[in-house]
Amino acid sequence: MQFAGSHILSVTQFERADVERIFAVADRMQPYAHRERVTKVLDGAILGSMFFEPSTRTRVSFGSAFNLLGGEVRETTGFENSAIAKGESLYDTARVLSGYSDVIAMRHPAEGSVAEFAAASRVPVINGGDGANEHPSQALLDLYTIKKELAGRGRGIDQLRIAMVGDLRYGRTVHSLCKLLCLFKGVQVVLVSPQELCMPPAIVEELREAGHDVMTSEVLEASIAHVDIVYSTRIQEERFSSQQEADLYRGRFRLNQSIYTQHCEPNTVIMHPLPRDSRDTARELDDDLNDNPNLAIFRQTDNGVLVRMALFALVLDVVEQVDAHARDVNWYTAGRF
């Protein structure tokens, strides 16, 4: 695809080469995100950060990514946007707000709303999550993490062996990740969930049509024995009709250091889209894994900054200028990464 001036709305808009291009640019962002170098390539540019649904980590990650490229951020959070309450169409909102910035990152509770907004926007829009629908930068950072974690192990995304564990029905991130995996070859996917929270059949079908090997299971231990990645997820309580129903599933699949040692191959990578539920009744990833160097969950969120920097640099077409506007960091940064 042509990135300059494009909206980033869905993982389905990418071909394999696009994903690889994003990852290559993300790699080049590392010195800036890791505070070795400062770039001002977007000095004077403005990000409109429109989070009509609350989010701390995604919102701040987008904002920091833009700051790391030298740009400014103008932020709107929640539905203080009473204009919509006064009957304003999403078309009008988009026409107006896109006059205030050079690019927009947007989250909205209604499925499809970000695409509708983008259609009327005069500047590129990056989807930061539209309800249960899409959250493409999350899927990209997950896949980018897989690639980086496995690189040191001599393995790649082709021929990947991955177990996805937990709430595969409501977990938006595993859906999008599966779609991205369809761009690659020979992947083995083990889907571990209660029957009632299984991966939607349409997505399983897509994986199989891509030539991937899909297994399903309700047992954690055997399922994680021969994989490169265990991708654990939280029970999405807020999507259930009652707390009692959520309680049925919470804590069903718990990975801790002892199970890891006993069942996993050495250096199996542990991922999670976060937040992980650390309450006693949940603990899908136990705190005793925090010292396990294969726990990649915080490298995942760090990678989110790299991927979002890459998306901004691509849609604003400044990739080749980043290094030319750079200098060394001049403040204390020891021990950060």
Nearer to its own copies, 36 or 221 (CB): 36
Q: What amino acid is encoded at 317 in this protein?
A: D
Active-site position among 107, 108, 175, 212: 107
Which residues 116-175 are close enough to bind its own copies by CB under 8 A?
122-123
Distance between first and last Cα of the chain: 33
Q: Is 44 helix (H, G, I), strand (E, B) or coil?
A: coil
Altogether, the residues listed in the chain come to a count of 337
Question: 61 exposed, middle or buried (CB, 10 Å; 0-12, 13-18, 19+)?
Answer: buried
Nearer to its own copies, 223 or 233 (CB): 233
Considering only the stretches 8-16, 94-102, 161-169, 186-194, report the one whose residues sit in contact with its own copies under the rule CB under 8 A: 94-102
Our finding on whether 323 is near its own copies (CB under 8 A) is no
107 is catalytic: yes
Q: Is 55 helix (H, G, I), strand (E, B) or coil?
A: coil
135 is catalytic: yes
Considering only the stretches 20-28, 44-52, 223-231, 241-249, report the one whose residues sit in contact with its own copies under the rule CB under 8 A: 44-52
Our finding on whether 307 is near its own copies (CB under 8 A) is no
Nearer to its own copies, 104 or 181 (CB): 104
Question: 312 exposed, middle or buried (CB, 10 Å; 0-12, 13-18, 19+)?
Answer: buried
Lay out the sheet containing 229-232: strands in order across: 213-217, 188-192, 161-165, 229-232, 269-271
Our finding on whether 292 is near its own copies (CB under 8 A) is no
CA 137 vs CA 143, 177, 207, 312: distances in Å: 10, 10, 20, 11
Our finding on whether 105 is near its own copies (CB under 8 A) is no
The neighbouring-strand residues paired with 269 are 229
57 is catalytic: yes
Closest distance of CB 333 from its own copies, Å: 7
Pick from 36, 46, 155, 200: which binds its own copies (CB under 8 A)?
Answer: 46
Our finding on whether 276 is near its own copies (CB under 8 A) is yes
Tell me the C-alpha distance between 28 and 24, whole Å. 7
Considering only the stretches 11-19, 63-71, 189-197, 214-222, report the one whose residues sit in contact with its own copies under the rule CB under 8 A: 63-71
Catalytic positions, please? 57-58, 86, 107, 135
